[in-house]
């Protein structure tokens, strides 16, 4: 537990004129290299908690440790230069170019100008912006591009810790999804300790190595890996906050390669009607898949085999959704309910790996 990058010890915050504290006696640890998402309804103190870490908001009591240093006993502006900070409205400096914005903290730290230039180029590339944007002003960029600049600026001086306050809350859903995917692939490369605030439980589940669910008044209801929280909510509040589609949410966390696939009712072309019937009966279905040598050609109803006498090689119904092993069980379930054969066929390129049924998926999450 000593390797926690951020540690909150009995932290409380009461705002003047408010009878109840915004955060009451909160203790939590953020392990190095993990994304911890603080999530909860309005008034749960998630943003207050985040802002106490870089002392935009001063805690009323308690201690906060960042990278082994007592944050509450450090000069605030020096502490903040070691903590990347990304906010929803981006807060880019409108009067400075993209390159100058990204160079903000390195300049505060007095880096050599040539080193700053190199670092800016590196970051523009890292967050997926075009090099020719360097000399533009923030107002000339789209919302999604501005948010990427915000992330680049926060990473500029390579701080060990990144604080992100609803960074994707103001962009449209398509851009948000893309930024979320980008953040995860970025994190795989930079490996920062990230505290991320959102009110969106789906975003929390998708991004968090751990999710901390806060209740009104800064009460920590449950903290842990999203799979654990979805499987075993610690309280009624957590269960309610997770929503009635908790099972589906769990499915979105499990990749297909984590479960065993079934070979399925598959026969080779030329198989007799009798053998086809036996195969279909074993799976309690009224159809058979047709495949050979690791490929899956398609499927047809037993009634169609009956009229032909044998399993044909051509004129088969195709499996429309071809899933790969990196797809999630949620996507598999979607494929199952979208096809008449009611199975999801999984492929690695052209190679057929096996099938998933609704029953198999249900077993997986109720085991």
Contact set with another protein (CB under 8 A): 54, 56, 77-81, 85, 87-96, 104-105, 108, 136-142, 150, 153-154, 163
Taking the C-alpha atoms of residue 262 and residue 283, their distance in angstroms, rounded to an integer, is 10
Longest dimension (CA), the chain: 84
Beta bridge partners of 355: 262, 345
In a 3-state reduction of DSSP, which class is residue 27? strand
Residue 67 Cβ, how far from another protein at the closest point, in Å?
Answer: 15
Q: How far is the CB of 131 from another protein (least distance, A)?
A: 17
Q: Are 213 and 222 in contact (CB under 8 A)?
A: yes
- Nearest to residue 153, comparing CAs of 171, 126, 132? 126
What is the layout of strands, in order, in the sheet containing 295-301? 266-267, 287-292, 295-301
In the bound state with another protein, the residue whose beta carbon lies nearer, of 10 and 93, is 93
Please state the closest distance from residue 151 (CB atom) to another protein, in A.
Answer: 12
**Dihedral over alpha carbons 243, 247, 249, 250 (to 10 degrees):** 140
Residue 96 or 199 with smaller CB distance to another protein = 96
What's the DSSP call for residue 171?
S
Q: Judged by CB, which is closer to another protein: 142, or 272?
A: 142
**24 versus 56: smaller Cβ distance to another protein:** 56
For residue 56, the minimal CB distance to another protein (Å) is 6
Query: Nearer to another protein by C-beta: 54 or 252?
Result: 54
Q: In the complex, what is the shortest distance from the CB of residue 359 to another protein, in angstroms, rounded to a whole number? A: 49
The CB density around residue 204, as the number of other CB atoms within 10 Å, is 26
């Amino acid at each position: 537990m000593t390797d926690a990058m951020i540690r909150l010890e009995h932290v409380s915050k009461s705002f003047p004129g408010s009878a109840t504290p915004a955060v009451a006696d909160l203790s939590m640890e953020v392990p190095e290299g993990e994304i911890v998402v603080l999530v909860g309804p309005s008034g749960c103190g998630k943003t207050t908690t985040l802002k106490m870490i870089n002392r935009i908001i001063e805690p009323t009591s308690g201690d906060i440790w960042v990278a082994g240093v007592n944050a509450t006993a450090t000069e605030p502006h020096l502490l903040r230069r070691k903590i990347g900070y990304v906010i929803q409205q981006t807060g880019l400096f409108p009067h400075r170019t993209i390159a100058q914005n990204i160079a903000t903290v390195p300049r505060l730290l007095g880096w050599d100008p040539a080193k700053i230039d190199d670092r800016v180029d590196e970051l523009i590339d890292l967050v997926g912006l075009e090099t020719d944007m360097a000399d533009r002003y923030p107002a000339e960029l789209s919302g999604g591009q501005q948010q990427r600049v915000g992330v680049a600026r926060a990473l500029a001086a390579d701080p060990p810790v990144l604080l992100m306050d609803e960074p994707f809350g103001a962009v449209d859903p398509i851009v948000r999804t893309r930024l979320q995917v980008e953040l995860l692939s970025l994190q795989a490369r930079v490996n920062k300790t990230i505290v991320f605030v959102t009110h969106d439980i789906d975003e929390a589940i998708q991004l968090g190595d751990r999710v901390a669910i806060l209740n009104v008044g800064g009460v920590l209801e449950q903290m842990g890996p999203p799979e654990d929280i979805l499987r075993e909510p610690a309280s009624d509040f957590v269960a309610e906050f997770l929503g009635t589609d908790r099972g589906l949410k769990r499915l979105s966390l499990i990749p297909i390669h984590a479960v065993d696939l079934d070979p399925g009712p598959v026969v080779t072309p030329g198989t007799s009607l009798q053998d086809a019937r036996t195969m279909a009966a074993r799976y309690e279905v009224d159809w058979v898949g047709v495949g050979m040598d690791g490929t899956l050609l398609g499927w047809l109803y037993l009634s169609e085999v009956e009229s032909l006498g044998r399993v044909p090689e051509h004129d088969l119904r195709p499996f429309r959704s071809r899933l790969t092993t990196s797809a999630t069980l949620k996507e598999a379930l979607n494929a199952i309910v979208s096809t008449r054969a009611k199975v999801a066929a999984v492929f690695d390129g052209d190679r057929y790996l096996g099938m998933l049924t609704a029953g198999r998926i249900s077993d997986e999450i109720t085991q």
